Homo-oligomer: A and B are copies of this chain.
Amino acid sequence: MVVLGGGFAGLHLIRRLERRLGPGEVELTLVDRQNYHLFTPLLYQVATGELPPHAVAYPLRDATAPAGFRFVEHAFNVKWLSDGERLRRHVLDTFEDAATESDPAKRRELLTFIIVGAGPVGVELASSLRDLMDHTLRRIYPTIDFRREVTIHLLDSADRVIQQMDVRLSRIAMKRLASQRVNVVLRTPVSEIAQNCVRTKDGVELRGRTIVWSGGVKANPLLEKVALPKAKDGRMLVDEFFRASGRDDVLALGDAAYFEHAGRPLPLLAQVAVLEAPAAARNIEALVRGEPLAPFVYKRKGDLVALGRRAAGAELAGLGGIVMGGLPAWTVWRANYLMQLLGARNRGTLLVEWVLSYFAGRLVANTP
């Protein structure tokens, strides 16, 4: 059996299979481009210096060693952790440049940050970026006027932020973003992203040294080479047992699978992958042993969005769709990620770095 990708689906699947299958029952190979599982929901905190990279990288061999699995790495083009680090370095370089720039127009362009896409990643990044400025950079760059010279734009074509989530969460987020002086521009599709410049379909041109694309996740381009039926968005069509086109030898889950639920496909979310993995492991066990399969029943847990220091939004589907904001939601958010993150080593780092970043400031040494 070959598991392609050590993301949320692949990693959680392997962990379940270890428990379910006996030694020697199958020979398992995990293929991934890196030796670590990247905890993507917290990647933006690497970009804004709240967490060091190693906090969100869980060694895949930690999960695969006990059962003696084989493990093959494969170089790949998209390296998400390096993206987070590159953005952090760029932001720090930008402030360094601005601090010694005397031309006011150039300073303003240097200090303009444009985030395209107001989904969860865009909203959390904008909010965290403002916190980085307000609580760490302001202190070490006394020559920059953070209120007058720095601008954060957050653009989206939708009519509300985080449109994937409950409308009450959008309202909580909008209020918080306004208080953080993030300039939210809605109903504004972007037509072009050029060097230091974003053009909207309305013909408006925004200039800024830092442009971040936080549009949605796409299916892995590797899927293009798989000769099996796929949906329009490139994901593999699966039945309620995760079988690709009903085949017993190819299963797909997580972002790779187009799983229909109540007439619509399940979204590309870590939450979905983590819920699917145990059900897929059960079915793989059944396939290996020639037992009957069980369909996967999706029960969403709700949504969380971080909104900087002591603020977040939470919608808890399990509690009748209750929605909360502020400190209670922030507590739920932090506790949730502490539990979700794998590995005692990573959890320890996460907790401590959060505390240190909160009280002693973010990570602003521009390490390579």
Binding site for B on A (CB under 8 A): 34-36, 52-54, 57-59, 61-62, 65, 68, 70-73, 79, 81-82, 85, 92, 96, 99-100, 139-143, 343-345, 348-349, 352-353, 355-357, 360-361, 363-368
Contacting pair B365 A96 (CB below 8 A): no
Contacting pair B59 A365 (CB below 8 A): yes
Given A345-B361, A349-B356, A360-B348: A62 and B140 within 8 A (CB)?
Answer: yes
Partner of A348, one of B68, B356, B366: B356
CA distance A79 to B365 in the complex (A): 14
- In the bound complex, residues from chain B placing their C-beta under 8 Å from that of A79 are 368
Partner of A356, one of B70, B71, B99, B345: B345
Contacting pair B35 A365 (CB below 8 A): yes
Partner of A68, one of B82, B96, B142, B363: B142
Query: A59-B140, A61-B364 given. 11 additional CB < 8 A pairs?
Result: A35-B365, A36-B367, A54-B363, A58-B365, A65-B141, A72-B100, A79-B368, A344-B356, A345-B356, A345-B361, A348-B360
- In the bound complex, residues from chain B placing their C-beta under 8 Å from that of A58 are 365
Contacting pair A81 B368 (CB below 8 A): yes
Q: Shortest CB–CB separation between residue A141 and chain B, in angstroms?
A: 7
CA distance A57 to B49 in the complex (A): 13
Q: Which 10 A-B pairs have the closest CB atoms?
A: A36-B365, A57-B365, A82-B368, A345-B360, A61-B140, A352-B352, A65-B140, A348-B356, A59-B365, A35-B366
The 23 listed contacts between A and B (C-beta, < 8 Å) are A36-B365, A52-B52, A52-B53, A54-B365, A57-B365, A57-B367, A59-B364, A59-B365, A61-B364, A62-B140, A68-B142, A73-B96, A82-B368, A85-B368, A343-B360, A344-B356, A345-B357, A345-B363, A348-B352, A348-B360, A349-B352, A349-B353, A349-B356
Partner of A367, one of B54, B143, B355, B357: B54
- In the bound complex, residues from chain B placing their C-beta under 8 Å from that of A343 are 360
- In the bound complex, residues from chain B placing their C-beta under 8 Å from that of A100 are 70, 72
CA distance A349 to B92 in the complex (A): 20
- In the bound complex, residues from chain B placing their C-beta under 8 Å from that of A57 are 365, 367
CA distance A92 to B36 in the complex (A): 12
Contacting pair B365 A139 (CB below 8 A): no
CA distance A57 to B364 in the complex (A): 9
